[in-house]
């Protein structure tokens, strides 16, 4: 069995599939894809937005904004309540 394993190439199906046999007439060759600049920017932006650091930062900003609005609402409520109490007395 060791003899049969020596002649085998490493198990990497992508590498083996993309290289055509030199003597075959099969002209399957991987072509370089032409990507426009705008498409590359969109792709990079999409990948960047999915990064864990970026998503966590966005969540933290949302939480911070929510707590800030809650504080402002509490202050407004407190002022209204105080005005009501002072007017009654």
Q: Is there a domain that residue 28 lies in?
A: no
Q: Is there a domain that residue 76 lies in?
A: yes
Q: What is the pTM of this model?
A: 0.49
| Number of domains making up the chain | 1
Tell me which residue range forms the domain holding 64: 36-89
Q: Is there a domain that residue 40 lies in?
A: yes
Q: Which residues of 2-14 are buried (b: 16+ CB within 10 A; e: fewer)?
A: eeeeeeeeeeeee
d(CA 10, CA 29): 21
Convert the pLDDT of each residue in 34-52 to its tens digit. 888 899 999 999 999 999 9
- What Rg, from alpha-carbon coordinates, does the chain have? 32
Residue 68: HSE in the Cβ half-sphere, 13 Å Cα cutoff: 6
Average pLDDT over residues 59-71: 98
d(CA 66, CA 12): 50
């Amino acid at each position: 069995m060791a003899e049969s394993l020596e002649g085998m190439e490493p198990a990497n199906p992508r590498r083996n599939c993309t290289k055509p046999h030199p003597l075959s007439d099969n002209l399957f060759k991987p072509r370089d894809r032409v990507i426009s600049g705008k498409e590359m920017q969109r792709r990079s932006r999409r990948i960047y937005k999915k990064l864990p650091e970026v998503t966590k930062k966005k969540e933290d900003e949302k939480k911070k904004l929510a707590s800030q609005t809650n504080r402002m609402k509490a202050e407004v409520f407190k002022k209204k309540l105080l005005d009501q109490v002072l007017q009654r007395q």
